[in-house]
Amino acid sequence: MKRSFLYIAVIFGLLIASCQEEVRLDLTDGDPQIVIEARITTDPGPHLIKLGLTTSYYEESGNDTVRNATVRLIEKTDGEVTLNEMYPGYFYTPEGFQAEVGEEYTLEVEYNGQMYSATGEVLTFPILDSVVVRYQEERVFREAGYYCYFYGKTPKGQVNYYRWMVYENDTLFNDRGDYLLADDEFVQEDISNLELPYPFEIGDTVRIEQYALNEPTYTYFLGLVNLLFNDGGIFSPAPVNPTTNIKNVTNEGNPPLGYFQVSSVITETLVIKEE
């Protein structure tokens, strides 16, 4: 629901984004900042905890490498999880490692004299009953094709936060418009006929993953999407870094970039066939 406003903003953007051209600006470089990215789920691992550093804006290579960082992942009941730094800044959990529902995990990163920490709880599995495929003719915002319709439930009594990730033939839809995020605050318990915004063709293999997120993680992704859609213009809010759920314990005013996600996930895979 909240995203419908983004929808409006995007439409406004389309109406006015008549002419564009590239400009090269003389940008100032800030001090490199650490980027922490970790997604620990109930699927069998290895799961990756990735560290990096920001670069100059126009720098084309990826994040700069983080060396000599210490990373710990702590399971509340069972203690520390062994991590293996396979490349500098890339820390892997053991093969087959799975997060457990109800368990609380804490991530601790020490780098350059700063201590970063985040905690998350694995929430119960989302409820997905079925996915139905139907053909749809062309519509204003959608091409013609086979669409997936999601049926499930969302337990009431508290607000739940979800993210869906959709793969077409093992390729993740991963554009800024592909963040399928939702909270169920204004939604009924039975979710039926929820359309996934992708047209598929006969023979496509579709994989849908549904994650149950902690609120701070969800807020992070919302902030990330808002920033990715921020066109820097007068209809956009002032651009700010997404609010991370990772704290800088040493210096609270200097939070890191990135997120720590621990979540349960359910997966549905199907092949698009003739109706």
Q: Which of residues 30-59 bind another protein (CB under 8 A)?
A: 30, 32-33, 35, 37, 52-59
Tell me: does residue 135 bind another protein (CB under 8 A): no
Which lies closer to another protein via its Cβ, residue 120 or residue 242? Answer: 242
What are the structure tokens assigned to 109, written together? 């990163």
* Distance set, CA 58 to CA 24, 55, 241 (Å): 9, 8, 18
Sole binder of another protein in the list 82, 96, 170, 186 (CB under 8 A): 186
Q: In whole angstroms, what is the distance from residue 148 CA to residue 193 CA? A: 9
Tell me: does residue 5 bind another protein (CB under 8 A): yes
Tell me: does residue 144 bind another protein (CB under 8 A): no
Sole binder of another protein in the list 167, 236, 247, 248 (CB under 8 A): 236
Which helix or strand (DSSP H or E) is residue 145 part of? Answer: strand 145-153
Tell me: does residue 11 bind another protein (CB under 8 A): yes
Which lies closer to another protein via its Cβ, residue 55 or residue 117? Answer: 55
Sole binder of another protein in the list 81, 83, 222, 262 (CB under 8 A): 222
Cβ at position 37, least distance to another protein in Å? 5
Binding-site residue total for another protein (CB under 8 A)? 84
Which lies closer to another protein via its Cβ, residue 46 or residue 103? Answer: 46
Q: What is the CA radius of gyration of the chain?
A: 20
Which lies closer to another protein via its Cβ, residue 124 or residue 193? Answer: 193
CB 38 within 8 A of CB 48: yes
Sole binder of another protein in the list 94, 132, 235, 267 (CB under 8 A): 235
What are the structure tokens assigned to 192, written together? 């039926």
Which lies closer to another protein via its Cβ, residue 100 or residue 231? Answer: 231
CB 36 within 8 A of CB 49: yes
Tell me: does residue 112 bind another protein (CB under 8 A): no
| Residues contacting 13, CB < 8 A, separation 6+ | 231, 233, 235
Please, which of residues 63-82 interact with another protein by CB under 8 A? Answer: 63
Please, which of residues 191-220 interact with another protein by CB under 8 A? Answer: 191-195, 219
Burial 223-233 (b: 16+ CB within 10 A, else e): bbbbeeeeeee
CB 161 within 8 A of CB 264: no
Taking CB under 8 A as the rule, which mask of x and - marks residues 156-175 in contact with another protein? Answer: ----------------x-xx
Sole binder of another protein in the list 70, 130, 241, 267 (CB under 8 A): 241
Cis peptide before 46 (omega within 30 of 0): yes
* Distance set, CA 114 to CA 87, 250, 260 (Å): 21, 5, 17
Q: In whole angstroms, what is the distance from residue 131 CA to residue 256 CA? A: 38
Sole binder of another protein in the list 62, 79, 96, 157 (CB under 8 A): 62
What are the structure tokens assigned to 25, written together? 């600006």
